[in-house]
Amino acid sequence: MKIIAPVKSVLITCFTAFLAFPLHAQSPKLIKVKLDQSIAKVQPNMWGVFFEDINFGADGGIYAELIKNRSFEFAKPLMGWSISRNRPQEGEILVVNRKQEQAANPRYLQIKKQTDDFELVNEGFKGIGVKKGMRYDFSVMYRQSQPGVKMVLLLKDPDKKVIGQGSFVPDEVGNDWKKQSVSFLATETNPKAKFSIVFQGKGNIDLDMISLFPGDTWKNRKQGLRADMVQLLADMKPGFVRFPGGCIVEGTDLANRYQWKNTIGPIEDRKMIVNRWNNEFAHRPAPDYYQTFGLGFFEYFQLAEDIGSDALPILNCGMACQFNTGEVVSLDEIGPYVQDALDLIEFANGDITTTWGKKRAELGHPKPFNLKMMGVGNENWGPQYLERLAIFTKAIKAKYPDFKLINSSGTDPEGDRFSLLNTSLRENKADFIDEHYYRPADWFLKNAGRYDTYPRNETKVFVGEYAVHADKNVIGSNRNNWQSALASASLMTGLERNADVVQMASYAPLFAHIDGWQWAPDMIWVDNLQSYGTPDYYVQKLFSTNKGTDVVSITLDNKNIIGQNELYASAVLDKGKKELIIKISNNADRPQSIDFDLDGKTKLKNKGTVDELASADLNQLNSFTNPGAVSPKTTVIQITGKKLSTTLKPYSFNVFKIPFN
């Protein structure tokens, strides 16, 4: 149908547009791209992800367990549990501690049921997300001297309506613990359900590891990961997965540091600890935040492998978080910490005849994980860090000379702590220095040229954590808006241009639960059923899926494009896909006309595409109701000879892809 607009309204529209953008659209900037000269190689694992169990990212997040405090090991053993209906009599339910017998998981629930039926209710992490038609897998460890107690399993919505039901009859008798499972289907969808066990009959039974998982885990692995969250990562094709943090590597004290050996093997033997984000921020308390390590180091390696990423573990260097206790291990007693690092390499790569390679094989992965690098320390600093790092480095390099080590440069990308480490680590020819920055948008824009003048030598930079914090608070309540993503994209053009220096980068943090976050902004937000990528997610994904192989020069008036006319740009060739890829952000509140002069012998095709991320509103967010508010729109572009003429929208980030022969 042809619609003819009234002439007057067309005139008014044109006039208004002219007033809004009077001059700029008419004078194209000439941007020169030199196609034939590779100025740096882009590492295949350049753009990765940072995973930490913060914001209920693992427990209560990607680790799909739905029962909170399944083994009664929280400081308050019945936290997350309640008893409703016909209160049991004194002594009918007890939490028993058998520390001698099972040091890693000492507590269990003892039921001595002689009276009326009663009901034990678990509230889930922030409720339980239940999907209509979905299978739910219940499992439990138990022992009973004689049969008698039957359990009815119920999923209930907040109005206590039953939306899923199964039953469990423990069928073995004896003094040993047994594991048994049963599955049932849900009849309705609800994001805030609860799980009940109604105890019927009479008898005695001991219970532990009361567990419920949805049937649709990633790759349908039993007791595995939330598929929607992994899929968002897989879609990014990240070059590496950094894990397990972050500050949880350090712990508030050394006793609560992350110890990978406690995170492998049967889940009932993984000794859980309090999550260091449990009480870190008074304004975001999370008293029910613990690390069960159901997502442990084997699963991390497996996840990285599943999504085609390199694994990048970060290990404790013998120092607890310096903002908390600052506890350090005595140098005389650092041996076990170093041994953990050596053993991890063997666990990942060792032949199955080695002690730790054998363990990996027993867990179901005889093939090595091909681990190539590891971080020693997270955000540690000072001479104490340097002396501990030296011991690790000597031991690891002696056994694995080609293994790459990532060294910390502390918490900030400038200042005395940074300078001390940056200077010393470079003198010591560090493989990688890990830089972290959580800064406002204008810092990101000002630092788009940061690496243009960095030394070109053997020490490379890993930008291991970064995010724009739109307000000045480092830990704000702000979600990722378009302003933060656009500033990230602008800085990232500077990382890409300097891919010979900055060889890896990861945005942080990755996940946040809408009802359980401690730190914001974050790249991906989830509730109990859904997840969405923020504008930053799309920026990261555009870089990662268009990383190219070779950096080429892109200039405006013969200079790197680091803010002239509020433009930021980088360009790469992908020699495998045979594509020229130009990334350019327009931080101006007006459209800008650009003529790209695509100089060189490389024969470009005359059609390409542009993926455009744009919003006129810098405060624009994505959300559960509008997950694609800021998301890429792809259109076809025309190249005439060696020229591409285009107009960049105000506040836009654009990825032009032009195939060549």
- For residue 310, CA distances in Å to 302, 374, 504 come to 10, 11, 11
- The CB-nearest residue to ligand AHR is 246
| Comparison of 55 and 646: residue with beta carbon closer to ligand AHR | 55
- For residue 283, CA distances in Å to 174, 430, 475, 477, 516 come to 49, 38, 10, 10, 12
Rounded Cα gap, residues 291 and 284, in angstroms: 17
Rounded Cα gap, residues 75 and 117, in angstroms: 28
Q: Which of 184, 312, 316 is nearest to 248 (CA)?
A: 316
> Does 136 contact ligand AHR by CB under 6 A?
no
Please name the residues in contact with 632: beta carbons below 8 A apart, sequence gap of 6 or more. 538, 542, 611, 612, 613, 655
Q: Which of 379, 383, 540 is nearest to 474 (CA)?
A: 379
Q: Beta strand 240-243 with 310-315: parallel, antiparallel or unpaired? A: parallel
**Segment interacting with ligand AHR, rule: CB under 6 A, options 139-147, 239-247, 381-389, 498-506:** 239-247
Rounded Cα gap, residues 321 and 329, in angstroms: 12
Nearest distance from residue 411's CB to ligand AHR, in Å?
Answer: 6
Residue 161 CA, chain-centre distance (Å), reads 35
Crossing angle of helices 335-349 and 297-306, in 10° steps, is 40
Rounded Cα gap, residues 309 and 327, in angstroms: 33
Q: Which residues pair with 198 in a beta bridge?
A: 119, 152
> Does 246 contact ligand AHR by CB under 6 A?
yes
Edge-to-edge strand list for the sheet holding 531-533: 511-513, 524-526, 531-533
| Comparison of 510 and 584: residue with beta carbon closer to ligand AHR | 510
Q: Which of 175, 171, 197, 172 is nearest to 184 (CA)?
A: 197
What is the 8-class DSSP label of residue 212?
E
Tokens of 141: 């460890």
> Does 312 contact ligand AHR by CB under 6 A?
no
**Segment interacting with ligand AHR, rule: CB under 6 A, options 201-209, 242-250, 255-263, 357-365:** 242-250
| Comparison of 73 and 250: residue with beta carbon closer to ligand AHR | 250
- Pick the binder of ligand AHR from 144, 378, 506, 622 (CB under 6 A): 378
Nearest distance from residue 414's CB to ligand AHR, in Å?
Answer: 15
> Does 611 contact ligand AHR by CB under 6 A?
no
Rounded Cα gap, residues 69 and 81, in angstroms: 8
- Pick the binder of ligand AHR from 31, 247, 272, 363 (CB under 6 A): 247
| Comparison of 190 and 409: residue with beta carbon closer to ligand AHR | 409
> Does 509 contact ligand AHR by CB under 6 A?
yes
Q: Which of 298, 296, 319, 297 is nearest to 392 (CA)?
A: 319
**Cα(first)–Cα(last) distance of the chain, in Å?**
41
**Segment interacting with ligand AHR, rule: CB under 6 A, options 87-95, 241-249, 448-456, 567-575:** 241-249
> Does 466 contact ligand AHR by CB under 6 A?
no
Tokens of 400: 């694995």
- Pick the binder of ligand AHR from 73, 157, 379, 496 (CB under 6 A): 379
Q: Mark residues 381-420: x for contact with ligand AHR by CB under 6 A, - for none.
A: ------------------------------x---------
Nearest distance from residue 323's CB to ligand AHR, in Å?
Answer: 8
Tokens of 541: 């994904």
Rounded Cα gap, residues 252 and 326, in angstroms: 8
> Does 608 contact ligand AHR by CB under 6 A?
no
> Does 421 contact ligand AHR by CB under 6 A?
no
**Segment interacting with ligand AHR, rule: CB under 6 A, options 215-223, 243-251, 353-361, 383-391:** 243-251
Q: Is 282 helix (H, G, I), strand (E, B) or coil?
A: coil
Nearest distance from residue 248's CB to ligand AHR, in Å?
Answer: 7
| Comparison of 191 and 521: residue with beta carbon closer to ligand AHR | 521
| Comparison of 60 and 106: residue with beta carbon closer to ligand AHR | 60
Q: Which residues pair with 652 in a beta bridge?
A: 586, 614
| Comparison of 211 and 322: residue with beta carbon closer to ligand AHR | 322
Indicate the length of the chain as a whole number. 661
| Comparison of 379 and 574: residue with beta carbon closer to ligand AHR | 379
> Does 245 contact ligand AHR by CB under 6 A?
yes
**Segment interacting with ligand AHR, rule: CB under 6 A, options 70-78, 101-109, 245-253, 564-572:** 245-253
In one-letter notation, the amino acid at residue 428 is N
> Does 280 contact ligand AHR by CB under 6 A?
no
Nearest distance from residue 305's CB to ligand AHR, in Å?
Answer: 24
- Pick the binder of ligand AHR from 51, 293, 519, 525 (CB under 6 A): 519
Which residue out of 73, 379, 465, 612 is catalytically annotated?
379
User: Judged by CB under 6 A, how many residues of this single chain contact ligand AHR?
Assistant: 12
Nearest distance from residue 615's CB to ligand AHR, in Å?
Answer: 25
Q: Is 52 a catalytic residue?
A: no
- Pick the binder of ligand AHR from 371, 508, 523, 539 (CB under 6 A): 508
φ and ψ at 628, to 5 degrees?
A: -110, 20
CB-CB contact of 280 with 321 (8 Å): no
41-80 residues near ligand AHR, rule: CB under 6 A: 52, 54
Which positions touch ligand AHR (CB under 6 A)? 52, 54, 245-247, 378-379, 411, 465, 508-509, 519
> Looking at the annotation, which residues are catalytic?
379
